[in-house]
Each structure stands twice: as C-alpha cells, then as structure tokens.
C-alpha cells in the first residue's frame, strides 16, 4: 500500500479529469467514486471524490468547489521513453489547455504537467559545459521538447 497519495482539488471536474488521465497511461484505472451524502446543500448525490491510479501511482481527486485552483508550483513530471510518447501526451494534455516553455503545460483543468523525454537530464548535466549550455539554450526556445533537436543543439 502506498503511504503518500497526491490529493487533487478540482472545482467540479474530478471524474472527468480522472477519466482523461487514466486513458493516457498504462496500468491505470479508476477505483472508488464517492458521492456527497444527504445534508450538503446543492451537492447531494454528486461526485465528491474519485480514487484513481496512473501507471501504478494512486491519486485522489476531490470536487471541492472553486475555492482553490492549481498553480505551476506543483506539477506532474512525466518521464517519456520515446519522442512519440512525448508527442502523444503533449497533444492530449494541451487539448483545451495551454502550452508553456521547456516542456511545461497546463491541462484544461488547470493542472500543470512536465512532459520530458528520457535523456534530457543527461544533456543538461553534460560534463562538457558547452554541450550543456547549448542544450539549455535550445530547450529554452521550445514548448514541447524534442530530444533529437536538443541532441543536435548539444552537439553544436
């Protein structure tokens, strides 16, 4: 059993978000859905929480109302095996959302994600400072990260 579970506060879209997220990752599913009990004005019977798993990681989403919203101070970091995976996840998560720089995006629910190809960290921490700087400079010009372009930039 997982000891720490991320708990995400949505206005009213917890179930919609969980369905989208679980459709994007293998080994993912929606678990228990709880509903607001009687006595909650305007809420009785509506979805309160959704438990879901993304690639084996457990999450809970709450429909808590408009009191709080996500900020980029907390983001979901996705390590992608291939450029095709980067492309697929980028397209799905930016649909209705907004792209930002350096592989960051905000999905249509306001949750921030970093869609990062494997190999980026090695490029950015290359022992040759010139290679690392060229990779950083290229990354700063990108929204969706392209590992081939980053490698070419690092090579000079």
* Domain range enclosing 44: 1-68
64 and 80 assigned to the same domain: no
Tens of pLDDT, residue by residue over 69-105, are 999 999 999 999 999 999 999 999 999 999 999 999 9
57 and 18 assigned to the same domain: yes
64 and 120 assigned to the same domain: no
Distance between CA atoms of residues 145 and 82, nearest Å: 11
Containing H/E element for 61? strand 57-63
Domain final residue pick, 68, 96, 120 = 68
Query: Which letter does DSSP use for residue 5 in this model?
Result: -
77 and 50 assigned to the same domain: no
Distance between CA atoms of residues 126 and 86, nearest Å: 22
Predicted TM-score of the model (pTM): 0.93
Into how many domains does the chain fold?
Answer: 2
Distance between CA atoms of residues 4 and 136, nearest Å: 33
7 and 21 assigned to the same domain: yes
Tens of pLDDT, residue by residue over 53-78, are 999 999 999 999 999 999 999 999 99
Tens of pLDDT, residue by residue over 2-59, are 999 999 999 999 999 999 999 999 999 999 999 999 998 888 999 999 999 999 999 9
Distance between CA atoms of residues 3 and 19, nearest Å: 23
Task: Answer for the pair 102, 145: CB distance below 8 angstroms, yes or no.
Answer: yes
156 and 87 assigned to the same domain: yes
């Amino acid at each position: 059993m997982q000891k720490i579970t991320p708990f995400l506060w949505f206005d009213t879209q917890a179930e919609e978000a969980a369905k989208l997220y679980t459709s994007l990752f293998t080994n993912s599913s929606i678990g228990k859905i709880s509903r607001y009990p009687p006595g909650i004005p305007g809420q009785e019977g509506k979805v309160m929480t959704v438990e879901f798993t993304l690639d084996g990681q457990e999450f809970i989403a709450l429909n808590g109302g408009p009191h709080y919203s996500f900020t980029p101070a907390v983001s979901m970091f996705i390590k992608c095996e291939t450029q095709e995976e980067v492309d697929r996840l980028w397209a799905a998560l930016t649909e209705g959302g907004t792209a930002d720089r350096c592989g960051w995006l905000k999905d249509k629910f306001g949750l921030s994600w970093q869609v990062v190809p494997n190999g980026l960290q090695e490029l950015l921490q290359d022992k040759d400072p010139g290679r690392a700087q060229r990779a950083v400079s290229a990354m700063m010009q990108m929204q969706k990260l392209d590992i081939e372009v980053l490698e070419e930039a690092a090579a000079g």
